[in-house]
Amino acid sequence: MLTIVITRENDLDIPVGTRIIVGHAAATYDRSTPVGLVGGSVFAVDAVA
């Protein structure tokens, strides 16, 4: 997970104190014999001003 905290005035007018949280997760499962295969992935972004 990556967390960005705005601590200074900026050209994008993002308020000081804003927290931008970026998360990414992925999971896979594989067998050498393709009897079964399970996989998944997720992506999430959250911004709080």
pLDDT tens per residue, range 1-49: 778 899 999 999 999 999 888 876 777 776 666 666 666 767 777 766 6
Q: Can you give the pLDDT at residue 17?
A: 92
φ, ψ for residue 47, nearest 5 deg: -130, 130
φ, ψ for residue 27, nearest 5 deg: -145, 140
What the block records as the tokens of 31 is 């067998």
- Cα angle for residues 19, 22, 28 (degrees, 5° grid): 160
CA distance 32 to 17: 49
Q: What is the pTM of this model?
A: 0.48
Q: Can you give the pLDDT at residue 27?
A: 73
- Listed by start position, the domains of the chain span 2-48
